[in-house]
Amino acid sequence: MSLRAIGADVGLTAPAVRDRILRLEDIGIIEAFSVRLNARALGFVLEAILTVEPLPGKLRAAEHALRDIPEVIDCVVVTGEDCFVARLVLNDVSDLDRLLGPLHDIARTKTSIVHRKPIPPRRPPVLSRSSPTNHKRPNPNRPVALVAAVLPPVDAKSIVQTNLEAK
C-alpha cells in the first residue's frame, strides 16, 4: 500500500504518513515490514504443531535441533511439562519421520496436524491514543489505523532537531 493511499485513508499527506511511520520505527513500535508467504502455494500442504520436552540435560541440544529444521516456521519456549511449542510446514505426513529424527534421542515430542485456523495471524491489538477514554479497537485488517492512531501529529522540525542532537 502506498503512503499516498494510507494518507487518503487516514486524512494525512504522504509525507505526514512517512514521518509517522519513521517515528513509529524510531520508538520501536514498528519493528519490521514483512511479506507473508502462502505455504500451500510453496508445496507445503500440511501444518503441524509440535510440543517438545527435552530429556534431562538436553535443553540446548533440543533448541539447536529445532533451529536446524527449516520447516520449523515458528517456535516458542513455554512453561509446563513441554519446553518448546513449534509450528512446522510439511509436504505430507511422511515428512514427520525425517524432520523429527534428530529429536528422537534428545526429547519427547507430540505432534498434532492443524485441521483449520479459525483465527488468522493478526497484529497485537492497539487502542487509539487520541482519547484516553476511547476503547474502540481499530480494524485488525487495516494496518493504516496504526499509523494514524498511535502518534499525535509529528512536528518535522522537532524530529530533525532531535536527530541532530543525538549525533
Instruction: Please check whether residues 55 and 21 belong to one and the same domain.
Output: no
Write down the pLDDT at residue 166.
42
Instruction: Please check whether residues 28 and 51 belong to one and the same domain.
Output: no
Domain span holding position 25: 3-34+126-166
Write down the pLDDT at residue 23.
94
The number of distinct structural domains making up the chain is 2
Picking from 128, 114, 123, 158, the residue whose alpha carbon sits closest to that of residue 143 is 123
- Structural domain contains residue 39: no
- Structural domain contains residue 65: yes
Instruction: Please check whether residues 65 and 92 belong to one and the same domain.
Output: yes
- Structural domain contains residue 96: yes
**pLDDT tens, residue order, the chain (167 aa):** 899 999 999 999 999 999 999 999 999 989 988 888 889 899 999 999 999 999 999 999 999 999 999 999 999 999 998 999 999 999 999 999 999 999 999 999 999 999 999 998 888 887 655 544 444 444 555 544 444 444 444 444 444 343 344 43
Write down the pLDDT at residue 123.
81
Instruction: Please check whether residues 100 and 53 belong to one and the same domain.
Output: yes
Write down the pLDDT at residue 133.
46
Query: Between the CA of residue 56 and those of 81, 107, 135, what are the distances in Å?
Result: 12, 9, 47
Write down the pLDDT at residue 124.
82
Instruction: Please check whether residues 86 and 59 belong to one and the same domain.
Output: yes
Number of Cβ atoms within 10 Å of the Cβ of 148: 20
Picking from 127, 101, 105, the residue whose alpha carbon sits closest to that of residue 29 is 127
DSSP 42-66: TT--EEEEEEEEEPTT-HHHHHHHH
Instruction: Please check whether residues 76 and 105 belong to one and the same domain.
Output: yes
User: CA-CA distance, 132 to 128, in Å (whole number)?
Assistant: 8
| Residues facing 50 on adjacent strands | 86, 111
Predicted confidence (pLDDT) per residue in 114-162, tens digit: 999 999 888 888 765 554 444 444 455 554 444 444 444 444 444 434 3
Instruction: Please check whether residues 98 and 66 belong to one and the same domain.
Output: yes
